[in-house]
Amino acid sequence: NAGVMQNPRHLVRRRGQEARLRCSPMKGHSHVYWYRQLPEEGLKFMVYLQKENIIDESGMPKERFSAEFPKEGPSILRIQQVVRGDSAAYFCASSPTGTSSVGEQFFGPGTRLTVL
C-alpha cells in the first residue's frame, strides 16, 4: 500500500517564477493537509482540503499561494512569483475518509523548494 506521494522532491526556481507542488494521498484518504517547514523549525499548517473543497486555508498567505484538490488527480499547492522567503520544505499529509473524530495524519517525503 503506497504511502503519501509528493513530487517533485526537489524544486529550484528563480525569483518571480511559479512553483507547483503535487501530492497524492494514501489510497482511501480524501483529506489532505499542506504544511511548511523552515530550516530547524517545526511544521506550520497552511491549508486543509477535501475533494473539490477547501475546508480551512487560515494558515496560507493571502497572496501568491493557492491550493486545490480536484475530483481527479493530485492535490496541487501553487506559489506564484516566488521570493527567497518561500524557500522551505513543503509537506503534504493525508488522513482517512469519513471519520467523525480527528484521524491520524500520514506525511509524504516533502518537496524542498529553493528560490535563487
Partner 1 sequence: GENVEQHPSTLSVQEGDSAVIKCTYSDSASNYFPWYKQELGKGPQLIIDIRSNVGEKKDQRIAVTLNKTAKHFSLHITETQPEDSAVYFCAATSDTGRRALTFGSGTRLQVQP
Cis peptide bond N-terminal to 96, omega within 30: no
27: contact with partner 1 by CB under 8 A = no
Site string for partner 1, 63-102 (x = CB under 8 A): ----------------------------x-x------xxx
> CB 15: neighbour CB atoms within 10 A?
11
Q: Which residues bind partner 1 (CB under 8 A)?
A: 4, 6, 33, 35, 41-45, 48, 55-56, 58-59, 91, 93, 100-102, 104-110
